[in-house]
Amino acid sequence: MFKPYEIETIHPDDHRYTMTKRFIWNRTLITKNVLKLIKSFEDIGNWLHCIPIIIDPEGNIVDGQHREAAAKALGLPISVIQIETEDIARITIALNTNQRNWGLIDFAKYWSTQTNNPKVAEVYRRFLDYYASNNVTPGVLIAIFNERSNRSHYRTDGGHDVNINDDFKNGDLPFNRSNRIHIESTLANLRKLKSASLYSPISRKTFRKQQFQESMLKAMEIECFNFDVFLSKLCRSRHSFNKLAKKVDVYKEIIRIYTKKGK
């Protein structure tokens, strides 16, 4: 049916196009992942020849079920490579134990070194510089660049909601004179928190938590919130930040301290 260990491109009019099928032990298809792949194919074209679907001699998919579903949803040719039955177990184990998806810093490093658009590369180099010199998570730094309290925010683009985290991965990170002031002032405020408490310092572990950092960003978004007043009250307060795990509880503790009587 297929040639062993050769990448073949199968077009929709080929009878083999409908012969690939899922193993009974394949993971359940995640619709969100299929939709992301569909968008990727629509944006940059069919790239399956770069990472073909792996099948066994019977057409069972060993790896690539989401890629196959997305390509077939668009009626695109699929690229497949058949492996022999005796290799299925060890290759499947290797694929599922040695693959690591890119993290946010991996995306930043990629865009910082690309040469097609020097302006994009410069923005991502600045992102990496800020990350290296401030104890913030990549997700929080993305939110700060977008002047948001967390990276799960969406922006509207032509009537469609676009996740700013996806923008970041696609090389679209805003940086200009206006948001540069916001970035640097916000990071400066966060740095002040490290030594702000007289009774019990905020631990490095607590400060590094995304829940803590995003709660602070949320508070600083409020127009009537005065960070310097909060800092002064925190200095003289006993806080529970080092004991809290949930974002909602961290935020409540920020407001409790801020609204305490006294200057």
- Written as one string, the DSSP assignment of 135-180 is ---HHHHHHHHTTSSSTT-EEEETTEEEEHHHHHHTT-----HHHH
Q: CA-to-CA distance for 190 and 201, rounded, in angstroms?
A: 14
Residue 40 CB burial class (10 angstroms; 0-12, 13-18, ≥19): middle
- Domain map (residue ranges) of the chain: 7-98, 102-183, 196-263
Q: What per-residue confidence (pLDDT) applies to 101?
A: 76
At the top level of CATH, the class of 7-98 is: alpha beta
Q: What per-residue confidence (pLDDT) applies to 157?
A: 52
Q: Could you write out the DSSP letters of every residue in 26-76?
A: SPPP-HHHHHHHHHHHHHH---TTTSPEEE-TT-EEEE-HHHHHHHHHTT-
Q: How far is CA 215 from CA 5, 183, 207, in A?
A: 52, 16, 11
CB atoms within 10 A of CB 95: 13
Instruction: Find the distance separating the first CA and the last CA of the chain, reported in whole Å.
Output: 79
Q: CA-to-CA distance for 92 and 55, rounded, in angstroms?
A: 11
pTM of the predicted model, to two decimals? 0.71
Q: What per-residue confidence (pLDDT) applies to 161?
A: 58
List phi, psi (to 5°) of 125.
-65, -40
Scan for tokens 């919130």, then name that residue: 225
Q: What per-residue confidence (pLDDT) applies to 230?
A: 94
Write out residues in the chain with pLDDT < 50, as ranges: none
CB atoms within 10 A of CB 112: 17
Q: CA-to-CA distance for 135 and 208, rounded, in angstroms?
A: 7
Q: What per-residue confidence (pLDDT) applies to 121?
A: 92
Q: Name the DSSP letter for residue 201.
A: P
**CA gyration radius, the chain:** 24
Q: What per-residue confidence (pLDDT) applies to 149?
A: 84
Helix (H, G, I), strand (E, B), or coil: what is residue 7? strand
Q: What per-residue confidence (pLDDT) applies to 116?
A: 82
CB atoms within 10 A of CB 178: 10
Note the pLDDT tens digit of each residue in 124-181: 999 999 999 998 999 999 999 999 887 665 555 555 556 788 889 888 899 998 899 9
Q: What per-residue confidence (pLDDT) applies to 76?
A: 94
